[in-house]
Amino acid sequence: MSRFLESIHVKQGVAELIFYHQARYEACMNHYFPNAPKAILKDLLKHVPATEQTYKLRIEYSHKIEKVEYIPYQTRQIHSLKLIEAKHLRYDWKYADRSDIDALHTKVSNQEIMIVQHGLITDSSYSNLVFERRGKLYTPLKPLLYGVRREHLLKTGKIRPIDIPVSEIQLYEFVYLINGLLALENAPKLSIEQIF
């Protein structure tokens, strides 16, 4: 049976983007377990540490909530991105089993990867991507995972979805790595020259 994840940014007892997490969780449940009862994710916040420390509330579920953990979170240090072609990789939902993505890391040493499908940029192994060009922000039209942070930025008009071919990444100046725990303003930001 498949298991899925929601990884929620929690600070001072507040779960960020909980509406978007709830929506994705419910969409996944409707797809895989349409007759199962659905949890209210904010109800899982009862024992959250109310500190300045950032926590990842990691919720693992199948037809029911399987596991809930609070994990202290620190941003990864990313120094470069390696382009990796993975045309058959699928990550339509936030699966607990990431072995297909993890296997791509065996092709590189000590680098984060940027996944390419059919010549188009999709995601990194743990984040959606936002590219900056002349002060405007763009995100790949077809990411591997439709992340909650990406969805929020689209809804608020801060980013625009477009196809980003590998052959055109030099048209951009920077790339940001965003996810549920990494807002645009504190996401790793790399120069395009740091993509290989």
Give the phi and the psi of residue 78 in degrees, each rounded to 5: -115, 125
* Percent of the chain residues past pLDDT 90, beyond the cut: 83
Residue 28 near residue 145, CB atoms below 8 Å = no
pLDDT at 111: 83
pTM, two decimal places: 0.94
Task: Provide mean pLDDT across the span 109-124.
Answer: 93
Per-residue pLDDT tens over the stretch 120-133: 999 999 999 999 99
pLDDT at 84: 96
User: How far, in Å, CA of 190 to CA of 118, rounded?
Assistant: 23
User: How far, in Å, CA of 69 to CA of 8, rounded?
Assistant: 10
Which residues, in sequence order, are CB contacts of 14 under 8 Å at separation 6+?
none
